[in-house]
């Protein structure tokens, strides 16, 4: 049985209870993090803690813990759930429990929830299918908010369209990101990903990929990508903590280039796997 952390206690998931008046439940007034754990090591911990802290700041919730306290909680949750296999940590912080009023001026205590589960790894080495879709989300996509209904609907549309795993989102003619991933395209040997301008989540895997490519001397630019450029790209990749870096080989039912993962993707994947084994390669 999985052991979770909830508001200061470690307990079986079946016994973990949150009030129906929790603002995470009534208003989705909450943010979250997903952090991979490979071979018992928490991957890019500081980067995930920094984003958690930024998101809390953005929604005006005081971070309930120091980085050290967060790390202690993560370590304890992992210890109580046997860390043998690759796992992920899920962290959620809501503003707390209050009457159902949009604004509550009382001093609320945030609800803090942490769980861990094994990564269900799928073999995407031959690439995946994606669709394009209008970006139907709100404007503050740099905040990792739990209000994920648009993303859920977008994922459903992708699956219904042609068994695709992701919807690549288009806003005013430009690519933003996937419903739950960041997007790279390759044009003339240059990897390009949209800038972090608030219309995308500052993905930890995205940032790592940019760093790894540049470290290896490969060209990588952070700049805008039009829908036309996406559709004419030599390669398309998706990045996220749960996917790593995967190649999109089919877009809206049509092959991307020759319909196989591209040359640069193979290098990106190799770099990512090497970093997973030995993060010190970047230092
Ligand atoms: C909208 C969105 N963009 C990008 C990402 C990738 O972020 P990360 O690499 O930090 O997992 C996610 C991850 O869930 C996401 O939901």
pLDDT digits (tens, 9 = 90+) for 188-203: 999 999 999 999 999 9
Contact in structure between 8 and 32 (CB atoms under 8 Å): no
Check residue 248 and give its pLDDT. 98
Q: Which class is domain 3-118?
A: alpha beta
Sheet containing 87-94: give its strands across. Answer: 9-12, 3-6, 111-118, 87-94, 30-38, 41-42
State which ligand 1 atom lies nearest to the alpha carbon of 51. 10
Please tell me the distance from the alpha carbon of residue 34 to that of residue 87, in angstroms, as a whole number. Answer: 10
- Residue owning the nearest CA to atom 3 of ligand 1: 181
Active site residue 155: no
Of all protein residues, the one whose alpha carbon is nearest to atom 5 of ligand 1 is 181
Cut 0.85: pTM above it = yes
Q: Which bin fits 253, alpha (ψ -120 to 50), beta or left (φ > 0)?
A: left
Give the C-alpha separation, 224 to 17, whole Å. 44
The predicted structure's pLDDT at residue 19? 98
* pLDDT band, residue 105 (cuts 50/70/90): confident
- Dihedral pair phi/psi, residue 85, rounded to 5°: -85, 170
What distance in Å separates the CA atoms of residue 41 and residue 132, rounded to the nearest whole number?
35
* pLDDT classification of 12: cutoffs 50, 70, 90: very high
The pair of structure tokens assigned to 12 is 């079986």
Cα(261)–Cα(20) distance, integer angstroms: 46
Between the CA of residue 218 and those of 151, 193, 215, 267, what are the distances in Å?
32, 14, 7, 9
The CATH architecture to which 128-282 belongs is: Alpha-Beta Barrel (3.20)
Residues 216, 202: Cα–Cα separation, whole Å: 22
Tell me how far the alpha carbon of residue 101 lies from the centroid of ligand 1, in angstroms: 30
For residue 148, the ligand 1 atom closest to its alpha carbon is: 16
Residues 43, 27: Cα–Cα separation, whole Å: 31
The overall average pLDDT reported for the chain is 96
Asked whether the predicted pLDDT for residue 84 surpasses 80, the reply is no
Q: In the predicted model, what is the mean pLDDT of residues 111-118? A: 96
**How confident is the model at residue 235, as a pLDDT?**
98
What's the pLDDT score for residue 83? 60
Domain ranges of the chain: 3-118, 128-282
Stretch (H or E) spanning 209 = helix 204-215
CA distances from 250 to 34, 255, 262 (A): 27, 4, 12
Contact indicator for 222, 193 with CB cutoff of 8 Å: yes
Cα torsion 227, 230, 231, 233: sign: positive
Atom of ligand 1 nearest to the CA of 205: 9
Pocket (CB within 6 angstroms of ligand 1): 34, 177, 180-182, 201, 203-206, 239-241
């Amino acid at each position: 049985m999985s052991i979770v952390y909830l508001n200061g206690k470690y307990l079986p998931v079946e016994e973990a209870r949150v009030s129906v008046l929790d603002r995470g439940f009534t208003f989705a007034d909450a943010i979250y993090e997903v952090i991979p754990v490979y071979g018992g090591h928490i991957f890019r911990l500081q980067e995930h803690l920094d984003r958690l802290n930024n998101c809390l700041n953005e929604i005006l919730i005081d971070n309930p813990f120091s980085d050290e306290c967060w790390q202690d909680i993560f370590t304890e949750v992992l210890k109580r759930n046997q860390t043998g296999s690759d796992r992920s940590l899920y962290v959620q912080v809501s503003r707390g429990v209050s009457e159902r009023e949009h604004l509550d001026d009382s001093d609320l205590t945030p609800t803090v929830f942490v769980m861990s589960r094994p990564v269900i790894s799928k073999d995407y080495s031959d690439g995946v299918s994606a669709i394009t879709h209008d970006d139907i989300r709100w404007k503050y996509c740099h905040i990792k908010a739990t209000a994920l209904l648009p993303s859920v609907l977008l994922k459903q549309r992708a699956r219904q369209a042609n068994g695709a795993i992701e919807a690549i989102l288009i806003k005013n003619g430009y690519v933003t990101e996937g419903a739950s991933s960041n997007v790279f395209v390759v044009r003339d040997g240059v990897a390009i990903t949209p800038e972090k301008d608030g219309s995308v989540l500052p993905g930890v895997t995205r940032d790592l990929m940019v760093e790894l490519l540049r470290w290896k001397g490969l060209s990588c630019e952070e700049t805008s990508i039009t829908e036309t450029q996406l559709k004419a790209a030599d390669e398309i990749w998706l990045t996220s903590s749960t996917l790593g870096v995967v190649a999109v080989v089919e877009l809206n039912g049509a092959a991307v280039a020759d319909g196989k993962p591209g040359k640069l993707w193979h290098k990106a994947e190799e770099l990512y796997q090497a970093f997973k084994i030995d993060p010190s390669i970047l230092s």
